[in-house]
């Protein structure tokens, strides 16, 4: 029984993740609207984080399509997407660090 529950949750998780990403996209849209009101807002790291979210969406859509057996791609492809997301996160942290150093000299 517990194995079946684990399998069911594993199959449904990407769908739940995509639903929650919809909320995240809405919040990003609200954040990007701040720029029109205040030109001093530094949004470059947030734009790159949005790019990471888009990469995550692509990864999850491919996972759902693979689970539904609509496409046939190896599971290790997800590792490349995750590597891209982590690389974007590291770059965002470095950009923010550089911005803070320039801002508060």
Instruction: Please state, in angstroms and as integers, the Cα–Cα distance from residue 38 to each residue in 26, 29, 58, 81, 98, following that order.
Output: 19, 15, 32, 34, 21
Q: Which pLDDT band holds residue 98 (cuts at 50, 70, 90)?
A: very high
Question: What is the spatial distance between Cα 6 and Cα 12, in angstroms, rounded to a whole number?
Answer: 10
Handedness of CA 17, 19, 23, 25 (dihedral sign): positive
Q: What are the residue ranges spanned by the domains of the chain?
A: 2-103
Q: What is the pLDDT at residue 36? A: 66
The predicted model scores a pTM of 0.81
**pLDDT tier at 53 (50, 70, 90 boundaries)?**
very high
How do residues 11-41 score in pLDDT, each as one tens digit?
777 778 888 999 999 999 988 887 666 777 7
Q: Is the pLDDT of residue 51 over 90?
A: yes
Region 35-56: mean pLDDT is: 86
Q: CA 19, 76, 66, 62 torsion: positive or negative?
A: positive
């Amino acid at each position: 029984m517990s194995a079946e529950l684990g399998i069911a949750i594993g199959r449904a998780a990407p769908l739940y993740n995509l639903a929650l990403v919809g909320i995240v996209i809405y919040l990003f849209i609200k954040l990007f609207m701040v720029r029109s009101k205040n030109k001093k807002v530094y949004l470059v790291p947030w734009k790159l984080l949005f790019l990471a979210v888009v990469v995550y969406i692509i990864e999850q859509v491919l996972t759902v399509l693979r689970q539904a057996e609509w496409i046939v791609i190896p599971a290790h492809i997800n590792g490349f997407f995750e590597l891209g997301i982590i690389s974007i996160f590291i770059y965002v942290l470095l950009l923010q660090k550089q911005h803070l150093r320039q801002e508060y000299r």
